[in-house]
Structure 1
Amino acid sequence: MTVTSTPAQTALITGASRGLGAAIARELAPTHELLLGARSADALKPILTELPEATGWPVALTDYPAVAAAAAQIPRLDVLVHNAGIADLGTVAESSVEQWRETLEVNLIAVVELTRALLPALRAANGHVVLINSGAGLRAHPGWGSYAASKFGLRAFADALRQEEPALRVTSLFPGRIDTDMQRAIVADEGREYRPEEFLTPETVAGAVRTALDTPGDGHPTEIVLRPR
């Protein structure tokens, strides 16, 4: 009797060089062939040293011709985790057109375009799209207007994609604030002491991604909300 092994699923994680993206990469490494995305090859060196079986995918996500060319090299994709994003905070009165445009470009438009470019590969695998949203995608607070708008838009995109592509599973994950370098910068801007215990760990959020992916095929985990205790 010949026993054939099932090929490992392939997962592309954006923003995988550090923080939450790197934690998701570590979580999925035992079971997935990983494509790890970041703006540059240099940014990926530490995580690729740690996970030598993974493959770097250095693409600037707002360079849409480069995104299209890189996506065309992926014939099949089981998992797409949209983790890359920015948080440029400020009140409406203090904000600028450039701030709003860049935030929406990185957090929403680039996500849409990468997904669109990878739809053939995702369809080939009946794949799973996971969008790392935010509590700001459910409610907006003072000073978070442009960021929340981008995340509200991301939720709308997920809802539309889920209905337009019924062969795919589409999960929006809404974590509270996470202990990352980005969070440290936000807290410093808020002018208060940084206390890591106030925030979710990246590993906890990565575990929620794993839970979504491991949900049996008869279930569709559409939204997961995760808050610090």
Structure 2
Amino acid sequence: MSVTPVVILTGAGRGIGLAILQHLLALPSPPNILAVTRTLTPALKSLSITHSSNLETVSVDFSSPPSELQSEVKSLIIDVALSRWGRIDSLVLNHGRLDPVAKVGDADVGDWEVTFRTNFLSNVEVVQAAVGQLRRWKGRVVMVSSGAAVGAYTGWGAYGASKAALNHLNQTLALEEPDIVTVAIRPGVVDTDMQTALREVHGKVMKPEEHAKFLNLKKSGSIVKPEDVGAVLGNLALKADKGLSGKFLNWNDDVLAAYR
């Protein structure tokens, strides 16, 4: 008898995370999903009602201090998933924040610390808490990274550095945990609230040509649709091949054609 896999999805309330969730729920044989979000959005509340048999939602603030977050990860994520479904097969680590958008010389180091807690250290916490289950079931970890991890933009120092650290975590996990498939994905410029903020708020920090890039992608219709990248990330959570482990890939690379 086939076993329904259990997926923990973070940042599930909007944007890419919501698109991943919608894709997984629409599959002919959807997995059981623990959707983690800071704010229970109307879209997520609606899905939790219509898919109550295989969707559970919890609220966690991943910017919380380590001692507090460790307790929340165990009690609100790991324990909830295990008490309801008895196993954990996949992590999709999608939550994150762009702020502070400020030049290094102008930024508040405390804001950098919050970004590293949110974008990097919280992911270490979730992986550590779930690693026993992932080993047992030969599970998968999908990390949502960014092109900013390998290319700098003015004012994006905290965000880019935290995503670069996430890429290194992906490589290290692949090396240390051979029974777990882990992959970091660059989703491209996706039509989300983050891109709206870049176009409408943060242009004053970025160089004019950097800001123009994001304006032109939206204007030309070349911006990535959340549902397109969401499908790839969702499919990777369920069937990422061992040969992908440790790699940092663009969501539309040829090697991922089978996941689109």
2 CA distance for matches of 1:69 and 1:177?
A: 34
2 CA distance for matches of 1:67 and 1:215?
A: 25
Whether 2:224 is the aligned partner of 1:224: answer: no
State the 1:216 CA deviation.
6.6
Paired position in structure 2 for 1:55: 56
Deviations 1:2-53 (CA, angstroms, capped at 9, x unpaired): xx3x121111100101111010011112221111111244664144245444
Task: Report if aligned partners of 1:77, 1:124 keep a CA contact under 8 Å in 2.
Answer: no
Mapping of 1:6-21 within 5 angstroms?
A: 6-21=2-17
Change (3 A) 1:216 1:180: closer
Q: Is the helix fraction higher in 1 or 2?
A: 2
2 CA distance for matches of 1:50 and 1:201?
A: 24
Change (3 A) 1:220 1:207: same
Identity in percent:
28
Gapped runs of 5+ residues in structure 2?
205-210, 253-260
RMSD value over aligned CA atoms? 2.3
Deviations 1:139-197 (CA, angstroms, capped at 9, x unpaired): 12221111100000000111101111110000100121110112111211216755382
Change (3 A) 1:196 1:182: farther
Task: Report if aligned partners of 1:27, 1:207 keep a CA contact under 8 Å in 2.
Answer: yes
Change (3 A) 1:213 1:81: closer
Q: Any idea what SS the aligned residue of 1:68 has? A: helix
Q: Any idea what SS the aligned residue of 1:195 has? A: helix
State the 1:223 CA deviation.
2.8
Using the size of structure 2 for normalisation, the TM-score is: 0.78
Q: Please tell me the residue identity of whatever aligns with 1:207.
A: A
Paired position in structure 2 for 1:72: 79
Change (3 A) 1:184 1:196: farther
1:208 alignment partner, one of 213, 232, 235: 232
Task: Report if aligned partners of 1:72, 1:117 keep a CA contact under 8 Å in 2.
Answer: no
